[in-house]
Structure 1
Amino acid sequence: MKRILKGSIGVFLLLGFLLLGCDQDKKASSESKAQTYTCPMHPEILQNGPGTCPICKMDLVPLHSTAAHGPADDSLNALVKPTNELVISGIKTVRPEKGSRTAEMSLKGVINYNTNNWKSVSARVSGRIERLYVKYSFEQVRKGQKIMDIYSPDLANAQQELLFLKNNSELILLESAKKKLLFLGFTQSQIDQVLRSGKISPTVSVYSPYSGYVAELALNAAASSGSSAQAGGTRISSSSSAGMNEMNSGGSADVVPTVQSISTGQALQIREGQYVTAGQKLFDLINTEQVWAEFFARPDQLQEFKRGMKVSVRSLDIAEQNSDVQVDLIQPYYREGVNYSLIRANLPNSNRAWKVGQLISVSKQSKADGNWVPRTAVLQLGKKYVVFIRRNSAFVPVYIQVNKLTDEWVDIGNSLGPDQEIAINAWFLVDTESFIKAERL
């Protein structure tokens, strides 16, 4: 009996020690987990137990182990979650609609010189410039305006011949002498003045046969570094970008024709006292009463433009400045190895409202058949397009093919079935502030 009691006492003592040891281990582990504190502003401050930060005097907070949170999730599942987790379960859905929509194609362009209206003023006789009334480039000249006084022996001899035939009553030859003076640059009023006075004018005034702005095009073309185009030619800038966002513009790349640089306010090369020869060009006259609206189109856009069709030209700076004109030229070749074609339309400009170098937007409207979804339902990621389709209680992103774009609709072709539901606002699933529609500037 005593042996049994002694054995029982030993067993109870052993169990007591084991239980006491387990409790101490749990207590130690729990205390170790709660003993480390740190400062939110200074994480280098660590201490075992609550307290204040010695730097900023803030209360210390427990330091939690990163292992308790698990590894970071860098997959797309963390970005696109079921709608009940993003509080968008009530977002409206739509289905693709087959039918016709009015599509508007908008391309960027520029107002350029109409080189068909450029004129050259040349000396009809040899002589010396006694006085010059036009002295600076881009000075405005009107038809019939006096541009210079010139002394020419040829003109003096022609006047002497005219008076001789008049005095000898050679009427047939007299008419021929008048025509000769007209060809040499005389006006009818100048001929009548010589016949009335009977005197020869040694210095004759020369009047402009055209209206326009004075320019020396040959000198400007030679001064243009790296320019191989002729005067008034159009070329593609090598620094142009071909990556414009098509969802925003609906047009071609951000490439516009360049305009030839013409110096303004500089003195002309001809001077008073200078001798000129018959046929020598004095200067050029640029007329801007008719200008060109020029823009580039990609090969896939050329089928939308035909010669003679109407397009709408609108200024990018002045909203109320616009005009409807006809396409006059579709350039049938590419220049400088760039896969764009030049399209040109003549633009009347009698009131000088359109300025050369002014940026414009050229647009045309046409009806197109397709499988349409709202433009807000399509999200562009680089060169790809995405919509969110409903699958059970969540929205799943899928890639689609875009055939045509309008201001409000997108033709997705056969990318989705007719019964497929998609979110009406794709951006709402990524950024809840993106549904705000900005006005066009």
Structure 2
Amino acid sequence: MNKIVVTGLTLIVGAVIGAGVVAWLLPTASSPVPAEKKPLYWVAPMDPSYRRDKPGKSPMGMDLIPVYEEQSAKESPGTVRIVPDVENNIGVRIAKVEFAGLDQRIDTVGYVQFNEDELRHVHPRVEGWVETLHVKAEGASVRKGEPVYSLYSPVLVNAQREFILAHEQGRPDLLAAARQRLVALAFPIDKIDSLIKTGQPLRTVTIAAPLSGVVENLGVREGVFIKPGQTVVSLGSLDKVWVIAEIFEASAQHLSLHDEAIISSDAMPDVRWSGRIDYIYPVLDNKTRTVRVRIVVDNDGKQLKPNMFVRVYLNDDQPTPRMVVPREAVIRTGAQDRVVVALGDGRFKSVAVKVGQVGGNKIEILDGLMPDDEVVISAQFLLDSESSKTSDFIRMQHSQDQATGPLAVWVKATITSLMPEHKMVSLQHDEVPDWGWPSMTMDFSTADDVDLTSLREGMVIHVELKKADDGKVVVNAVHIPEQKNIDGPPSKRESPESEYADPDTEVDHSHH
């Protein structure tokens, strides 16, 4: 009997325990299984406007991708999402926005000319006949003082006779007047005294070269009758030559007088000549749209010859760091410039940008991007064609809790230019570690209550840079360091202009 009771109790206890385990393992009404997220719709990888309510194939034969409620709510207008294999197949490549100096090297062409400062034209001052031409052809070399041509002129013969007669009559006043006339008619001075010794006028007068060089132009032949004002010969020196370079108008603004230039020629590829800009012509050629630049080059070996075609290289020795992207990243439509920003996780969006200068394979971005952005440099036209259909072309901004630094920072800067009519200022500021900015020159808009009248170009100041709600950085406050009380707190806005202190002195801006 006892054995039966024990067995029954054992069965009852086992049943209770088993029921408890089963109840613990099975889901209950208070702990429901999380429901699987359901897509709102499916879209084509390359055409977000192609939507379907169930999986399938796109017109291009690609699998449709699902779009979920959270995903749709977070993405801004114009965001394109593609899967990794499609991204790889169309060859998407991206590059980071960076701060770097633009390559302002100008590579252009030019041609060699005589140095017109050393070009001499030989003209007769009396009429007569060229009896002997000592220089026979253009390009001939002559030295200073060597004969160029011999002239027979009745006028010169009569002037010599008047001088001799005045000497024989002992008339000092007439003698002086006759001497001055001979000098005015370009009669050789060293021959005047010989007239007194010989008492006989010279039938022909030999005209000598005024400088050493080559014959640039020969305008007469032997036996020709010439008159005053007629060019007999033009002589040019090759010790220094001019190189006239053609610079496109977009690059001309980077040039200044005395900039160094390197000259090369395809005829002598191993030879380089150095020169400096001597003059920048003020008129733009209306056909070639170029500005001419004159470069003076030493030509000791006489290798550079007039009318020679050469290549000219001009460099910017100290490029200023700027926000730049690869040149191929910018899509220029004529009405708008934009780039395709890589948002991560296969998301891309077309964003409007304001571009600045172009140098080499980089282009400056003045507005529209942030330093930590990444842009598409390959397949960007394909992505833009889809994103631009619905994009607002506004860059998505990071929320405050996602920001990588404070909203406002103080930094030392030098004013490079002022634009009070636009409430803007150009600053060359120091490094901003909190934002990851290097030292560079940038244009900033200013807050409405910032008075620019107390500022001057070249002034070293402290500025408060603040990120506005639209993502732009503005100058929110300005402090002009003073000689006295430099460590004291600055006023909220500008202090009166004064002699500012050592720019390296740090100012406590913690009161702001």
Aligned to 2:371: 418
Aligned to 1:21: none
Aligned to 1:20: none
Aligned to 2:413: none
User: Normalising by the residue count of structure 2, what TM-score does the alignment of the two structures yield?
Assistant: 0.47
User: Normalising by the residue count of structure 1, what TM-score does the alignment of the two structures yield?
Assistant: 0.53
- Aligned mate of 2:251, from 291, 301, 313: 301
Percent identity reads: 22
Deviation at 1:106, TM superposition (A): 0.4
Distance 1:291 1:386, change over 3 A: farther
Q: Which has the higher contact order (CA 8 A, sep 6+)?
A: 1
Q: Flag structure 2 segments of 5+ consecutive residues without an equivalent.
A: 1-57, 63-81, 380-512
Deviation at 1:401, TM superposition (A): 6.7
The number of residue pairs the alignment matches comes to 302
Take 1:119 and 1:406, find their aligned partners in 2: how far apart are those partners?
A: 42
- The amino acid across from 1:372 in the alignment is V
Aligned to 1:329: 280
- The yes-or-no answer on 1:372 pairing with 2:324 is yes
Take 1:189 and 1:150, find their aligned partners in 2: how far apart are those partners?
A: 17
Deviation at 1:320, TM superposition (A): 4.5
* Contact 2:166–2:174, Cα closer than 8 Å, also in 1: yes
Q: Flag structure 1 segments of 5+ consecutive residues without an equivalent.
A: 1-70, 76-80, 217-267, 428-441
Deviation at 1:110, TM superposition (A): 0.9
* Contact 2:342–2:349, Cα closer than 8 Å, also in 1: yes
Distance 1:74 1:147, change over 3 A: farther
- Aligned mate of 1:361, from 303, 312, 318: 312
Take 2:86 and 2:270, find their aligned partners in 1: how far apart are those partners?
A: 45
Aligned to 2:261: 312
Alignment of 1:32-111 (within 5 A): 94-98=95-99, 101=101, 103-111=103-111
Take 2:128 and 2:153, find their aligned partners in 1: how far apart are those partners?
A: 4
Aligned to 1:136: 137
Deviation at 1:422, TM superposition (A): 5.0
SS in structure 1 of the partner of residue 319 of structure 2: strand
Alignment of 1:21-36 (within 5 A): none
Take 2:178 and 2:135, find their aligned partners in 1: how far apart are those partners?
A: 30
* Contact 1:370–1:411, Cα closer than 8 Å, also in 2: yes
Distance 1:345 1:150, change over 3 A: same
Distance 1:324 1:380, change over 3 A: farther
Query: Over residues 137-188 of structure 1, what are the superposed CA-to-partner deviations in whole Å (9 max), with x where a residue is unaligned?
Result: 2333333220122222222222223333333444454343333222222223
Deviation at 1:83, TM superposition (A): 6.8
Aligned to 2:209: 208
- The amino acid across from 2:281 in the alignment is I
Deviation at 1:325, TM superposition (A): 1.2
- The amino acid across from 1:367 in the alignment is P
- Structure showing the higher strand proportion among its residues: 2
* Contact 2:131–2:222, Cα closer than 8 Å, also in 1: yes
State the superposition RMSD in angstroms.
4.6
Distance 1:73 1:197, change over 3 A: farther
Distance 1:387 1:137, change over 3 A: farther
SS in structure 1 of the partner of residue 190 of structure 2: helix
SS in structure 2 of the partner of residue 147 of structure 1: strand
Distance 1:204 1:297, change over 3 A: closer
Aligned to 1:275: 225
Aligned to 1:284: 234
Aligned to 1:194: 195
- The amino acid across from 2:263 in the alignment is R
Deviation at 1:378, TM superposition (A): 4.9
Take 1:354 and 1:397, find their aligned partners in 2: how far apart are those partners?
A: 52
Take 1:192 and 1:382, find their aligned partners in 2: how far apart are those partners?
A: 81
* Contact 2:106–2:313, Cα closer than 8 Å, also in 1: yes
Take 1:104 and 1:207, find their aligned partners in 2: how far apart are those partners?
A: 49
